[in-house]
Structure 1
């Protein structure tokens, strides 16, 4: 049964470390960590903000506040997932504070705004650096990838004792806005609202030059990037020439652009993860990368919102398995979002398919032989969300005789707050944690129950992009059960569970 135990982590508040490098409300935070521990939560996840640590100048790192926080987490007996957050906090769903990328980097952007992602109309996005500058020595002689490498190297050197003690279980490497491996195609700060299709973000001069070179090499110098025909942030697919049924995305020129656009994202992630692997070589940690759950317009043939985000995943192509194959060379975990969502909760007009999307992406990871983890995308405290997560965690249920056929490596819950710790919410959350643990007691040693975390080995040889793209042939996803066999409201497992189940049935009558 222990092989069915899936650890649960909880994201810490975004502002647990202030922009002036202070640990916020330490006494209150410690009490909150104690509450998590009392619920048998396995650990916490934490953004380690580039804009806080290296804000004063190039390679001027200050880790003191994070060291204090890591020590507190260790003292409370919790494990840690650390995010190398090379992006801005602010401008995405759920962001309640503002932590920009380092000041000195933004100052470079004042004289060279092309270091930032740019849409067709020339609007810049300062959430993170464009992947177009990954290998451009624009930052006092360093490239963007060299900056990310140096930051992670300093993290390893300054957190060596916590790494050696086994506190840090995985390092999630930020690869774009919100830490996700995607383009910032749907920024609320620029007026995007759900379920808009978003916009391509490849019009800085570096990416434009790269595309022109690629088109020339392909023998089509006349090919251009999409323009006004791709619409604006809040358009629908059918209102555009590019994304509409039988639109430009199906032409030879459209397919060339989309292949280039999505491949640049994969190469971007591959290069940064290769540097991360070098930095943490020999440490008993796993690398991880987060892929965003762009579930709206999933049932439109173009999958328009995925295309603008960099996931080339129309009806006749698998846009996620090449990502999983790239991650396999780094032994990295694929961390996916929106696992709490059900189709029935989405507006019909959005043609949204979170359930099918989750099934597709998790299947892509498992087919490529990598570990897969998940997060909820929105704050939820209800049994419907918890049961959906549990279903996706073990899609074919418990196996009492060993590892289940399919299972997630771990789950990270969004997010620690006073609201979560309110009596009713926390009572149900504790039941959820117990069910994630397959009704077992807390297991402190993760090496004993599923996939032991070994000292990090060197990444395998680089996989040519052509070989990665061979994985785009669509296959049927693995079958998922319609419901979890470990629901939080199972047969009166607790008085609260019974009451909540009855309330849910009453609520469902009114919903119908």
Structure 2
């Protein structure tokens, strides 16, 4: 595990910034319950504004806006909400809350996920199931293949309905799971959890277990490879399972075995893939309309941190095993990270083994190293604002959001006793805090000259950033970095670019000037003066391919499923397709067909396909199909390994003397051995298989019209390199 190593790294380092970020802002989270007295609410918001608060963050509940039915949206409550926030002078940060409100610590409302949604798939696909059998519907399981389409529809509708409010929306947050956090519902009161127990693993539906099995077969190539890695003697892939008893998993040291590490890594990877799905939907729908930062949240699970017999077990069951890998996904998906528990102190003693302060340092250190923007929150109602100040200053936080409004403002609109402390230790770190207004903006697209570019800047005539300036994160356009800079009342940005390590592009010491608006900067390929053009980069493909259609299963066996679909179209050209099974990407292909091998007999699998182009634009999911593999065959069987002569080989066969398959036969899936396809054919009571091979398009290898004969057992067929008769040898 990586935790102690990382803590050792930053304990003696000077990575901490000793100041907040240049764009630091203090926000407050709105009440969970619905507003009924809008005038009283507005008075509370005005008090926040008058004390220097920048924005109000608000849960926008999926269960409210799409309750009536699929694609039947009602945004009226939230447009009223946005109007009142605007009238108060605050900015508004919506949280697209796709989880249930109710059942977790601090929840004082009951808003379920839209009820019609559960008819879109099976409970096995859409819900979580814990190691004790508790079925949880607090959020949609990331294993459901339809989740991307639902998020895309919700986000598209929000963008269409709130375009006119973009001047008050400086940021958008995404709910990524239970309580709005990227995690599993591992600790849930209704499931019998109580603090400070570790919580329960959540991947015990058949869909989840099959995903784990397939991931392990893919990693190790075969069941034999799994056995060698795990030092086991499993006889069927159905024996590859999550831990049957989480307590034993820790008490016996199983978490530290190869199996344990594989399981915990895979368990986290499901969340990482899910983050990519919702980020793609958000960037597609929000970037063209709002052009603001998008964020998501990791939970601060601080208990069981240093338990000697179950270290980090509360984090593990929630899906956190390697924070570096997890936070890298925020970087990869151009998302800001929100982390919590900034107000809490370490204890570390039994039974809680709680180390929240250390955990905050650990996560903040990794985010700083990876260049991921940080926003902080408190975990519980607090007045410990000095501790919050320590963290936001130490790690250069970009913002802090206090949970919640009632912690600062009374129902009559007056400030309560916490306001002075919050203002002194948090709000007062807001840059340009005297006017606390958002000024003119300059958005820069930087065509990658430096691999990791920085911009060193000032509002024209103002104060320069500290060299090397601000790292420019990757944009939504391949090959470009992008940043938006608030220049206050200035009308021009003065800037120079560098690689963060002393190599500069400063327009031959004249610097570059950018007016308010959006600009593209292209460095000179020869090291001279770069070029500035107005607007977005020209000639960059930002259009996703059309959604693949007509996804169908063309054939199947007890261990394989073959798929085909109709080609997508694109403004430039489709490069390939992603194959998703049970909500997890398993492969890519340049063709409109794919065979998924190594499956379990008599098991249902859900598939979708996405198209992508050379610029990295990705379509939404195709319609999902569910295919069940054949039962394990009874009778004699013949296994044929086919050394790849045809790239996509088909086998046309019959049990000797029996009935032939329909031409061209069955596509042979790739085997566990590189360069070979493989199929096992049940021939019932027959003792011999009669077969010929072809490429599926009319080119045949039929032993000069005599066909090939295979006895019961395992055989390897090697085609002739000259187009003649192939050879058959016994065994793999």
TM-score tier by shorter-chain length is 0.7 to 0.9
Distance 2:192 2:169 in 1: 38
- Two-structure CA RMSD over aligned residues (Å): 2.9
Q: How far does residue 284 in structure 1 lie from its aligned partner after superposition?
A: 2.4
Greater alpha carbon shift after TM alignment, 99-108 vs 302-311? 99-108
Corresponding residue for residue 126 of structure 2: 115
Bigger relative contact order, structure 1 or 2 (CA pairs below 8 A, ≥6 apart): 1
Q: Give distance in 2, aligned partners of 1:430 and 1:408.
A: 16
Q: Report the equivalent of 1:408.
A: 397
Structure 2 Cα separation of the partners of residues 124 and 2 of structure 1: 42
String of CA shifts for 1:235-283, please: whole Å, max 9, x gaps. Answer: xxxxx22113x61111111111111111111011112101211111233
Report what 1:237 is aligned to.
Answer: none
- Quick one: which of 135, 141, 151 aligns to 1:130? 141
1:298 has 2:305 as partner:
yes
SS at match of 1:334: strand
Residue 173 of structure 2: aligned partner: 172
Specify the SS of the correspondent of 1:411.
strand
Specify whether residues 453 and 159 from structure 1 end up closer, same or farther in structure 2 by C-alpha distance, changes over 3 A only.
farther
Partner of 1:41: 53
Q: Please name the residue that 1:6 is paired with.
A: 24
Change beyond 3 A, Cα 1:2–1:335? closer
Distance in 2 (alpha carbons) for counterparts of 1:107 and 1:117: 16
Cα contact 1:10–1:412 (8 A) shared by 2: yes
Deviation track 1:66-113 (CA, whole Å, cap 9, x = no partner) reads 01110111111111211111100001110011110002124557x635
Contact map agreement 1:284 1:453 (CA 8 A) in 2: no
Of the three residues 83, 88, 107, the one matched with 2:100 is 88
Deviation at 1:427, TM superposition (A): 3.1
Map of 2:42 onto structure 1: 30
Richer in helix (by share): 1
Structure 2 unmatched ranges of 5 or more: 1-18, 227-236, 442-458, 480-577, 579-583, 587-732
Q: Would you say the 8 A contact 1:117–1:202 is kept in 2?
A: yes
Task: Note if 1:154 corresponds to 2:157.
Answer: yes
User: Is the 8 Å Cα contact of residues 100 and 113 (structure 2) preserved in structure 1?
Assistant: yes
Given that residues 364 and 374 in structure 2 are in contact (C-alpha distance below 8 angstroms), is that contact kept between their aligned partners in structure 1? yes
Partner of 1:216: 217
Q: Assess if the C-alpha contact under 8 Å between 1:211 and 1:260 holds in 2.
A: yes
Rounded to whole Å, the distance in 2 between the matches of 1:292 and 1:424 is 28
* Alpha-carbon offset, residue 2 of structure 1: 9.7
Cα 1:14–1:453 change in 2 (3 A) is: farther
1:98 and 2:91 matched: no
Partner of 1:509: none
1:287 to 280, 284, 294: 294
With normalisation by structure 2, the TM-score equals: 0.54
1:249-288 pair list within 5 angstroms? 249-282=255-288, 283-288=290-295
Residue 201 of structure 1: aligned partner:
202
Q: Which residue of 2 aligns with 1:458?
A: 476
- Please, which moves more after superposition, 446-455 or 433-442? 446-455
CA distance, structure 2, for counterparts of residue 228 and residue 327 of structure 1: 31
Conserved? CA contact 1:434–1:441, under 8 Å: no
Of 408, 425, 428, which aligns to 1:432? 425
Q: 2-side partners of 1:432 and 1:418: how far apart? A: 15
| 1:76 to 2:85 alignment | no
In the TM superposition, 1:320-335 aligns within 5 A as 320-335=323-338
Residue 15 in 1 paired to residue 22 in 2? no
For residue 328 of structure 1, give the secondary structure of its aligned residue in structure 2.
Answer: helix
Residues 1:248 and 1:186: Cα distance change in structure 2 (over 3 Å): same
Q: Give the structure 2 partner of residue 361 of structure 1.
A: 363
Query: CA–CA distance in 1 between the matches of 2:20 and 2:243?
Result: 54
Give the whole-Å Cα distance in 2 for the aligned partners of 1:262 and 1:295: 17
TM (norm. structure 1) is 0.76
| Deviation of 1:227 (Å) | 3.9
Range that drifts further, 259-268 or 212-221: 212-221
| 1:304-343 correspondence runs (5 A) | 304-312=313-321, 319-343=322-346
Pick which of 297-306 and 407-416 moved more.
297-306
Q: 2:634 is matched with which residue? A: none
More strand by share: 2
Secondary structure of the 1:128 match is: coil
Distance of aligned partners of 1:390 and 1:442 in 2 relative to their CA distance in 1, 3 Å threshold = farther
Partner Cα distance (1:324, 1:307) in 2: 15
Q: Which is higher, the Rg of structure 1 or of structure 2?
A: 2
Question: Contact conserved, 1:337 with 1:375, CA < 8 A, in 2?
Answer: yes
Unaligned runs of 5+ in 1: 17-22, 136-142, 231-239, 313-318, 396-405, 467-512
Distance 2:478 2:297 in 1: 20
